[in-house]
Amino acid sequence: MLDVSAMRQGPLDRLAGEVRPGAAVDLSLLPPRARFVLRCRPESVAAAGQAFGVTLPREACRTAVSGSRAALWLGPDEWLLLAAPDDAAAIVQQFSGALAAAPHALVDVSHRSAAIAVKGAQAAALINHGCALDLAHAAFPVGTCTRTLFEKAEITLWRTEEHTYHVEIERSFAPYVWLVLIEAREDLA
């Protein structure tokens, strides 16, 4: 039987391999991650965080990280959970036990998105080419995340370090966002 997993490519694999390093901003494809969207009621948040191994942020637009896992607040009852790909089955099992009696939804969206790292002194300026958010440190500090638009694509933007951003994009828009970032980066050089 043919092993198709060895042939599977992400939406940016070919494009990311062709990119030249930039002086002002480095763009890189982030490795695959297990991704889950969690929806639950306020009384279940603590149990959900315990099951995931990360205390879920309850403050708007904030993240919490523990080891290779991250929880991004997307709404009053919604989080994007990121983990190592090999942890996906265990996460489902942990949530099944911890929230068995509580109304919730845990949806595996691992194959829905791709992720790009935007890193460098001009990273905020590059993102602002297609996103109107105020990315000044006072307005969007490290650990902040939000859903927003980049040009015509919805993204989830997370500031992981002073000059580093994690950009989650739906697979169908990933090549578009990547090419816009590459083109805009030429203007910063």
- CA–CA gap between residue 167 and residue 128 (Å, rounded): 13
Question: Tokens representing 61?
Answer: 């637009």
- CA–CA gap between residue 128 and residue 122 (Å, rounded): 10
Which tens digit of pLDDT belongs to each residue from 134-146? Answer: 999 999 999 999 9
- CA–CA gap between residue 48 and residue 131 (Å, rounded): 32
- pLDDT given at position 16: 54
Contact 72, 156 (CB under 8 A): yes
In the chain the beta strands, taken as DSSP E runs, fall at 26-29, 34-40, 63-66, 69-75, 78-83, 104-108, 113-119, 145-150, 153-161, 164-170
Question: What's the pTM value of the predicted model, to 2 decimals?
Answer: 0.89
- pLDDT given at position 7: 43
- Helices vs strands, H then E, count in the chain: 5, 10
Predicted confidence (pLDDT) at residue 18 exceeds the cutoff of 70: no
The DSSP symbol for 183 reads H
What's the average model confidence in pLDDT over 10-32?
71
Beta bridge partners of 83: 34
Question: Tokens representing 120?
Answer: 């460098």
Amino acid at 73: W
Contact 156, 147 (CB under 8 A): yes
Predicted confidence (pLDDT) at residue 166 exceeds the cutoff of 50: yes
Residue found under tokens 């969206």: 109
- Level-2 CATH architecture, domain 34-108: 2-Layer Sandwich (3.30)
Predicted confidence (pLDDT) at residue 129 exceeds the cutoff of 60: yes
What's the average model confidence in pLDDT over 176-184?
95
Which tens digit of pLDDT belongs to each residue from 67-92? Answer: 999 999 999 999 999 999 999 999 99
How does the average pLDDT of the chain come out, rounded? 91
Beta bridge partners of 79: 38, 73
Amino acid at 141: P
* Location of each CATH 3.30.1360.120 domain in the chain: 11-31+113-188
Amino acid at 38: L
What's the average model confidence in pLDDT over 103-117?
95
- pLDDT given at position 4: 47
- Level-2 CATH architecture, domain 11-31+113-188: 2-Layer Sandwich (3.30)
- pLDDT given at position 20: 57
* Location of each CATH 3.30.70.1520 domain in the chain: 34-108
Percent residues over pLDDT 90 in the chain: 85
What is the crossing angle of helices 88-98 and 45-52, to 10°? 150
Q: What is the maximum alpha-carbon separation in the chain?
A: 55
